Amino acid sequence: MDRSSNTDATNFFTAMNAETHKLVEMFGGQVGEQYLDNLNSAWSQLLSRPTDPQGWVEAINEYQRSSLQFWSTLLTGSDAAATNRDSRFKADEWSENPVFNYIKESYLIASKLLNKAVENVNLDDKSQKKLEFFTQQYIDAMSPSNFAATNPEVLQQAVETKGQSLISGLQNLLGDLDKGRITMTDEEAFVLGENVATTEGQVVYENELFQLIQYTPTQEKVAERPLLIVPPCINKFYIMDLQPGNSFAKYNVDQGNNTFMVSWVNATPEQSHLNWDDYIESGVLEALEVVKKITGSKKVNTAGWCIGGTILSTALAVLTERKDNTVSSATFLTTMTDFEEPGDIGVFLGDDEVGSLLQKVEQEGVLNGKNLATAFNMLRSNDLIWSYVVNNYLKGQNPVPFDLLYWNSDPTNLPADFYSFYIRNMYLENNLSKPGGVTICNTPIDLAKIKTPSYFLSCIEDHIAPWKSTYKGTEMLKNCEFVLGASGHIAGVINPASRNRRHFWINGELGGTPDQWLDSAEKQEGSWWSHWSAWLKKRAGKQIEAPKELGSKDHAPIEPAPGRYVAVRID
């Protein structure tokens, strides 16, 4: 290679590194510049507090031992493949090439030093968690795998493609800078109603807040009591209806349930006034009334996921105070009703962060769904951010089609008044867990008064609704069955019975701690869907003829599922 070629290559790598840094800046801007502010604040607290000298000495000693051990391995040629378990460095080049092996090991050793330095610092619990979280975010962001010049896989691919991979990566990066978010899947591969959200049905009712979908029965007979599903309003409902093989909606239809789905509006600034009361009175309670009128049933089974379950629980509390027994059963999927321990998301909920965020939401009229999605992605940044930086921008590869990631890239806005009520009364003050602590629809509510049979599904690896926090719901809703699924917030719920994957626990002893429940529980192989379906059938009433037509005289079909509301994007 001649001198000019070397110069060109150096300039190109310099440009690629500069664009990668732009990505970091874009990413930080998406969460309101709080990423770097939180990191600086956390380390300022660390440096301004008295520390344990012994802890620092131990951290430095461990750093020196690890460094000496690495140099010994390097000089003697010993096998150092153990660190290949880290998916970022699994390629052989990271270990076989002495230069990149040195870069990788130096980074890992320094990472351990930083993490060790922030452990058990003299900070309050909330500040300690924030310090550890944002330190880890910094460590993850600075991984040598995230930069073109220090990633041997990127360099090798650039050589093999004669630089085309770098050109393609730069094009991908510039496209995402325009969009303001990272592309995680081939978004052109999916069309709502064609290959996602495909379960047949009709929109049979709509108002300012939601559309109501009734699905077409696939069985000759259906359960007398219909099923109303309340999905999260933070996300779109079709997480429950991705494709036929993993659709919770279609599963219920095939099980003989007359199934209805709420499709929440993607709020605009003009709808900033919509509040929690509206989501109850004009949302869940209105949907229940429409379902009863269409089916003629006086009783309705219900299911809610995540914040949809929190909304459902408050609706049940209002019905309880009104002595209305419309709801025959309630299923709560990874739902928090006690927010004392919110998990990793708590690092974004300091007084300063929430105050500035609520001010911005008030000014804009909505909580921007893209910012919320970025915050959730930060909780698993290596998997949901940096792996795509490497794949899309440094290697120049296009992400493969994946229905779940298409849904994840299709967020929704929340009305300002609704979000303000939610963040203050749930996350900041935990009022929902207190008898009479929150007033909904002019009614002070108490979840402990709810007598409706309930099914609680939590997931053991859930980082959004930690299972030990959701378990506290069993202390308030006494008439319940608690089930713990494997995996996390999404994969643990969307676990089709037909695939018979993973496992779950049942029949633990309620009344004690979460760990006591798990110690006494029975492990079952496969999906929790079948277990839940059997539970629901006991509360579904007799079998009746399936409706020949959807809707009713007063609620005629408006348009085919999945409807207009879910199709509104915020790109």
Which position among 306, 441, 459, 480 bears the catalytic label? 306
Pairwise CA distance, residues 284 & 278, whole Å: 9
Rounded-to-integer distance, Cα 272 and Cα 305, Å: 23
Helices (H), 296-330: 307-321
What DSSP designation does 343 have? Answer: G
Token representation of residue 343: 């998990």
Q: Is 97 exposed, middle or buried (0-12, 13-18, 19+ CB in 10 A)?
A: middle
Burial category of 73 from C-beta neighbours within 10 Å (exposed 0-12, middle 13-18, buried 19 and up): middle
Q: Retrieve residue 255's tokens.
A: 């099980």
Q: Which residues of 440-478 are buried (b: 16+ CB within 10 A; e: fewer)?
A: bbebebbbeebebbbbbbbbbebebbbbbbbbbbbebbe
Length of the chain: 571
HSE-up of residue 486 (Cα within 13 Å, Cβ side): 12
Residue type for 393, please?
A: Y
Contact 190, 411 (CB under 8 A): no
Contact 143, 88 (CB under 8 A): yes
Residues 476/456, Cβ–Cβ less than 8 Å = no
3-class SS at 481?
A: strand
Look-up: residue for tokens 């209806």?
A: 241
Distance, CA of 353 to CA of 378 (rounded, Å): 15
- What count of other Cβ atoms lies within 10 Å of the Cβ of residue 49? 11
CA 367 to chain centre: 16
Rounded to an integer, what distance in angstroms lies between the CA atom of residue 37 and that of residue 33? 7
DSSP string spanning 135-161?
HHHHHHHT-GGGSGGG-HHHHHHHHHT
* Three-state SS at 81: helix
* Measured distance CA(369)–CA(410) in Å, rounded: 9
Q: How many CB atoms lie within 10 A of CB 42?
A: 24
Q: How many CA atoms lie within 13 A of 189 on its CB side?
A: 15
**Is 306 among the residues known to form the active site?**
yes
Q: Which residues contact 533 (CB under 8 A, 6 or more apart)?
A: 251, 255, 497
Residues 484/504, Cβ–Cβ less than 8 Å? yes
The 3 state secondary structure assigned to 435-464 is CCCCEECCEECCHHHCCCCEEEEEECCCCC
Report the C-alpha gap between 374 and 376 in whole angstroms. 5
> Which sequence positions are flagged as catalytic?
306
